[in-house]
Structure 1
Amino acid sequence: SRCREPPPFQREMAETGNGERGWVLLGLETQTSPGPMKFVFFNIPQIQYKNPWVQIMMFKNMTPTPFLRFYLDSGEQVLVDVETKTNKEIVEHVRKILGKSEETLEREQQERQQLSHPANFGPRKYCLRECMCQVEGQVPCPGLVALPKEMTGKYRAALRASAKD
């Protein structure tokens, strides 16, 4: 009965792959199978690292069978039985029901690669370089370093005018 309502001190959560937000309650019995214990030891820290705003609460030895319970923003609860599963099966199952699809992950990776491509120029928020002058071997910006006078328009115009005279 303790696991039914989220606590009042719940903080804002990070989005899961399908746009929902949630937190996890884990009830586990240590004597049933090693899969849930390995999941807690190896995979919970990884999930916390990738989703820093997701609250994860672990309740040990409160129920006879281990389970995962996810509370989503829509008010929906997702209950996953993990009694006979290995830690890899648990991770794959949770990724399948709550994680982003392979197409979404691939599309986001493509977008990140496009933004970080060295040939793109623009604001630092979107690109690696703001100006062509930041590329090694290019002429620096005249606002930062004065150009040689042979490269300025005034000098060339003065040369043409003196050549005509």
Structure 2
Amino acid sequence: MSGESPGQGLRPPLIVVTGVSGSGKTTIGQKLARRLAVPYAEGDDFHSPQNVAKMRAGRPLDDDDRRPWLDAIAAWLAEHAERGGVVTCSALKLRYRDRLAAVSPDVFFLHLDGPAELIAGRLTAREDHFMPLSLLQSQIAALEPLAADEPGAAVPIDGTPEQTTARALAVVKERTAVQDR
């Protein structure tokens, strides 16, 4: 990332934490934002009530459902382009990430990657969330891994949240020249 930021000499990062439901986006996104001292936004909060109801009923979202959600997340990224931020968003497909990356050349995708069995176990243990385990396979089927030319990196989620956050922070620092504060 280029640009100047008072006191740092570097523009704060603009990170989209991606992955299927249950990969740890919220946990890692919050921890990463705290370490980087930037605002955090939960991607699930950008869903319409209709999208939440559809997922709660076990029906996957389609591109038409996702379009306003992605637009809202893109607007958040645009609002935070200068001061940085971390937002979660499954961003399963390249065209979704392209939509988000169009906001700023500084958008960096941090994809949380792990085996389906691990993620399914996390979803089963999770309480009070609208995303049922039954939709995991549809998300895995829709997932298009980060391409080599995309601004981002995959981070394994096989460790503790602290270990995953440390891995994520190391990748962000290495690939964006940003330092935690």
* TM-score (norm. length: structure 1): 0.31
Larger radius of gyration: 1
The higher-RCO structure (CA 8 Å, 6+ apart) is 2
* TM-score (norm. length: structure 2): 0.29
